[in-house]
Amino acid sequence: MTLDVHTLFMVTVYVEAILGLMLLFVWAQNMALRAVCWWGFAYLIRLVSICLFGMYGEVPDIVSIDFANALLFTAFAATWTGARVFDSRPVEPVYLVTGAVLWLLICRLPILADNLDARALIASGIITAYTWLTAYEFWRGRSEALVSRWPAIFMFFAHGALYILRTPLIAMLPSSATNDSLFASVWMTVLSTESLLLTISSAFILLAMAKERSELRHRTAAMVDPLTGIANRRSFMQDAALMAKQHIADPRPTAVLLIDLDRFKSINDRFGHALGDRVLEIFTDAARKSTRGSDLIGRLGGEEFAAMLIDTNRDKAVEVAERIRESFAQMAQEVDGRAVCATVSIGLVHTDAPTLDLAELLAQADQALYCAKERGRNRVEVASLDMMVVRPTTADAAAAIGAKTSAKTAA
């Protein structure tokens, strides 16, 4: 098979159709992926445009050139719109058709009617604008941890740069007066090949982005408490276990805090569960502001939270716990115009041991928390030997904490 423009044209038609239908099929399986729907229709619109280009000479130029280009610009605009939708930005209907309308108006200008070079430069500029806008939309959302976002940014930026350089590069080639059409043929083959490769690669990179985001959100849903946005019990225990392993190689003083909101059930009973949820969110905010970014905070269930402070001496750990308690008491004094006066009790255990037994530390912190409740609530208690006179085994202690957390969650 000879790799010429005509062969590439036919391959491109089939590829655009297959990829467009594939994207729409993926969207039909999960209609929450609205961006994939936009990208699928972009491929099909471009397919129609290419077919109209292929009818050049058989239909009026207004159809095979003017209208075909208008559809091509709309396809690139749909790709850009899909990028906006992907990052939850609104659709811009006006800008979606701006390129097509601008092109159709320009085609009617007498000064440009027969100036093919100027029209080609304008067409390339419109495509470049939409392509670079697509790259920019992906760039704006770079704070999201999607690895596949970066090749998409590079791909669309590079493709836009090649489009804007097409007209100058063509002008540098020998003109038809030299009767040397080889260069033009080779150049058109290169450009057509590049467009085909971008068509294929962009479809798969866009699908990869959608898939990566879905997986990321599933992982986040499994590891993050949906109300407070911090680690749930499973995530906290996994991260704490990882920190314990790292502690073996680099031992540092560590503190574990077990935190329980005082009389939280009565808050729910008096003010309703909606306000109770607000109290939990306020506590999370207070805890985040009172700790470092390197500290681990998690919601074990119900109104019980835990924190792990690495590289923190005993006095500093007590200071952090008191700051959490005082900050929350002040922030929860009044919630949504109602005098809630919520407080927390905190049990704290500190260790300088070269290894961390997480279950034992939690058990000791739980004993300290029990003492804080017994001694009047709204206070911080540090685990000491006299608290541990009657202490369950490590396995029993961990099981007791899990059972208590499950009971609170059920309540």
- Could you tell me the residue ranges of all domains in the chain? 5-223, 233-410
Backbone angles phi, psi at 115, to 5 degrees: -95, 85
Query: Amino acid identity, residue 72?
Result: L
User: How far, in Å, are 255, 358, 387 from residue 390 at the CA level?
Assistant: 22, 19, 8
Concatenate the DSSP letters of all residues of 275-313 into one string: HHHHHHHHHHHHHHHHS-TTSEEEEEETTEEEEEEES--
> What CATH number does domain 233-410 carry, 1.10.3720.10, 3.30.70.380, 3.30.70.270, 2.60.40.10?
3.30.70.270
Give the Cβ contact number of residue 140 at 10 Å. 12
Return the DSSP state at 253: -
* Longest alpha-carbon distance in the chain: 102
Mean pLDDT by 10 residues, the chain (411 residues): 66 91 93 93 94 88 89 95 94 93 86 77 90 95 89 91 71 48 50 74 91 85 88 93 91 95 94 94 95 93 95 94 96 92 96 92 95 94 66 44 46 40
Exposure letters 286-321 (e unless 16+ CB within 10 A, then b): bbbebbeeebbbbbbbbbbbbbbbbebeeeebbebb
The pTM assigned to this predicted structure is 0.67
d(CA 371, CA 345): 9
User: How far, in Å, are 36, 160, 300, 303, 403 from residue 409 at the CA level?
Assistant: 38, 54, 9, 8, 10
For residue 349, the SS3 value is strand
User: How far, in Å, are 29, 64, 118 from residue 41 at the CA level?
Assistant: 16, 20, 29
The predicted pLDDT at position 299 comes to 95
Contact partners, residue 368, CB within 8 Å, separation at least 6: 258, 347, 348, 349, 381, 382, 383, 384, 387
